[in-house]
Amino acid sequence: MSEVYTFGIKSGQPTALINITNEVQNVIKDSGIKAGICVIFAPHTSAGITLNENTDQDVIRDFVMETNKIVPISDGYHHIEGNSAAHIKSSIVGVSQTLIIDDGRLLLGTWQGIYFADFDGPRIRKVYVKIIEG
Amino acid sequence: MSEVYTFGIKSGQPTALINITNEVQNVIKDSGIKAGICVIFAPHTSAGITLNENTDQDVIRDFVMETNKIVPISDGYHHIEGNSAAHIKSSIVGVSQTLIIDDGRLLLGTWQGIYFADFDGPRIRKVYVKIIEG
Amino acid sequence: MSEVYTFGIKSGQPTALINITNEVQNVIKDSGIKAGICVIFAPHTSAGITLNENTDQDVIRDFVMETNKIVPISDGYHHIEGNSAAHIKSSIVGVSQTLIIDDGRLLLGTWQGIYFADFDGPRIRKVYVKIIEG
């Protein structure tokens, strides 16, 4: 019960949304827990966890394009590492999601997938998953 | 304990924020659980769950107006269904909220209400509520 | 187990991000709980809770500057109190975070700090913390 599950992912572009639904479903399946909630957490300040459409990749492409318009890569920022836009997107999208487990699986809508959003790739990143039974 | 509660809602406009505070409070009341947390989850990719002012409806009107400026309905998107703005707003606002239950009720600030945000209405939508006692 | 922990904070500027990581870590330490999750909740409609870089204060300065560009303080809003931008930012950032407790401490990335974001300061504000063991 008190375990924290971890898996790694690798992003290939400066902004990359990676579908991690299967990884999280497998964590839940392996835990044997049938009902409860799970917290999916990115221990990073220039990435996020979000849910969005799992079918047409143009939704993800549009998300990347539009968030780069909303939070431009360069915009007179002061942070010397040059990745302020990634930090800001991280706070807008959020670094965790809390989902429902039912019947041994994540309870998701038909079109929902879970994405790790790397806003400052390419990098190797980590995801933590914590399950609470109930 | 292991139950997931569900209720339906119907939005009447393209962008509609519907106050679901009473529905969620009733779920908690009916459960009989006095202390814990609850996850409110929208199984949709063009909607969200958010908390905001429960009194002056102009706050909600301003939220709708301004988010339409931040994420315009048309902006050179590629997704063929034409609702990319709704998908992007869903990821910005988030599809779930995790709240505290205390003394048999949601612990909210005086001015806080829970809203289902339909960014691609009018539609019939679903909300899941999961309670963890503790 | 059924307790809700509360602490107060005071913001000094119209927009202020206040690092509350130590306050939350102390709540967890005092609870004696070694594993589980915790919900950090702001009972306010013009504030938020977010995670971001804990070292270079320019990240926070850039966040404040850029979110003021994305959601301008004045933009033809209708809400008579004049703080619509703060309400909108609150829904974008979110009023709560659910984090993992491991080994008696919050499980955070090296660079992650927890911030109370006051978008309508200066004010005296409250934070609720609820711990679920598991």
- In total, how many domains does chain A have? 1
Per-chain mean pLDDT for chain C: 97
- What mean pLDDT comes out for the span B36-53? 98
Of A41, A87, A92, the CB nearest to C99: A41
Tokens matching residue C131: 């711990």
Give C58's pLDDT tier (boundaries 50, 70, 90).
very high
Of A52, A102, A112, the CB nearest to B4: A102
DSSP 8-state assignment for residue A62:
H
What's the pLDDT score for residue B112?
A: 98
Which 115-134 residues of chain A touch chain C by CB within 8 A?
126, 128, 130-134
Alpha carbons C132 and C100: distance in angstroms, whole number: 10
User: Tokens 């870089």, residue?
Assistant: C53
The shortest C-alpha distance from A76 to chain C (Å) reads 9
Which residues of chain B are within 8 Å of residue C66 when distances are taken between CB atoms? Answer: none
Nearest CA in chain A to B46: A52
List the strands of the sheet with A47-53, edge to edge: A16-19, A112-118, A47-53
Listed in sequence order, the residues at least 6 apart from B19 whose beta carbon sits closer than 8 Å to its beta carbon are: B54, B113, B114, B115
The shortest C-alpha distance from C7 to chain A (Å) reads 23
Beta strands in C1-134 (DSSP E): 4-10, 16-19, 36-41, 47-53, 96-102, 105-106, 112-118, 124-133
- CB half-sphere exposure, C133, CA atoms < 13 A: 9
Return the CATH number at C122.
2.60.120.460
> Is A104 near chain B, with CB under 8 Å?
no
Instruction: Tell me the H-state helices in C41-121.
Output: 57-70, 84-93
- CB half-sphere exposure, A5, CA atoms < 13 A: 18
What's the pLDDT score for residue A1?
A: 59
> Is B109 near chain C, with CB under 8 Å?
yes
The shortest C-alpha distance from B36 to chain C (Å) reads 7
The residue segments making up the domain with residue C45 are: 4-133
H/E segment holding residue A114: strand A112-118
Distances from the Cα of C101 to the Cα of A17, A51, B100, C97, C132, angstroms: 26, 23, 17, 13, 9
Is B51–C77 a contact, with Cβ atoms under 8 angstroms apart? no
- What mean pLDDT comes out for the span A12-28? 97
- Per-residue model confidence as pLDDT tens digits over B59-69: 999 999 999 99
**Is pLDDT above 80 for C1?**
no
Which residues of chain C are within 8 Å of residue B134 when distances are taken between CB atoms? Answer: 1-2, 131-134
> Is C104 near chain A, with CB under 8 Å?
no
The shortest C-alpha distance from A92 to chain C (Å) reads 5
Is C39–B37 a contact, with Cβ atoms under 8 angstroms apart? yes
What's the pLDDT score for residue C2?
A: 81
Which residues of chain B are within 8 Å of residue C2 when distances are taken between CB atoms? Answer: 34-36, 134
- Per-residue model confidence as pLDDT tens digits over C67-115: 999 999 999 999 999 999 999 999 999 999 999 999 999 999 999 999 9
Alpha carbons B84 and C68: distance in angstroms, whole number: 24
pLDDT above 90 covers what percent of chain B? 99
Asked if C89 and A89 count as a contact pair (C-beta separation under 8 A), the reply is no
| 3-state SS class at B75 | coil
- Per-residue model confidence as pLDDT tens digits over B70-98: 999 999 999 999 999 999 999 999 999 99
Bond preceding residue C122 cis, omega within 30 of 0: yes
Which residues of chain C are within 8 Å of residue A2 when distances are taken between CB atoms? Answer: 34-36, 134
- CB half-sphere exposure, C83, CA atoms < 13 A: 18
Alpha carbons A134 and B130: distance in angstroms, whole number: 9
Alpha carbons A131 and A5: distance in angstroms, whole number: 9
Of B36, B58, B98, the CB nearest to C79: B58
Distances from the Cα of A133 to the Cα of A2, A33, C96, C103, angstroms: 10, 7, 21, 18
Alpha carbons C93 and A90: distance in angstroms, whole number: 10
What's the pLDDT score for residue B2?
A: 81
**Is pLDDT above 90 for B1?**
no
Of B58, B97, B110, the CB nearest to C78: B58
Distances from the Cα of C98 to the Cα of A114, B71, C36, C65, angstroms: 17, 27, 11, 26
Of B45, B85, B130, the CB nearest to A52: B45
Transcribe B121-134 into DSSP letters. -S-EEEEEEEEEE-
Q: Count CB-CB contacts under 10 A for residue C55.
A: 10
Alpha carbons C26 and A104: distance in angstroms, whole number: 34
Give C24's pLDDT tier (boundaries 50, 70, 90).
very high
Beta strands in chain B (DSSP E): 4-10, 16-19, 36-41, 47-53, 96-102, 105-106, 112-118, 124-133
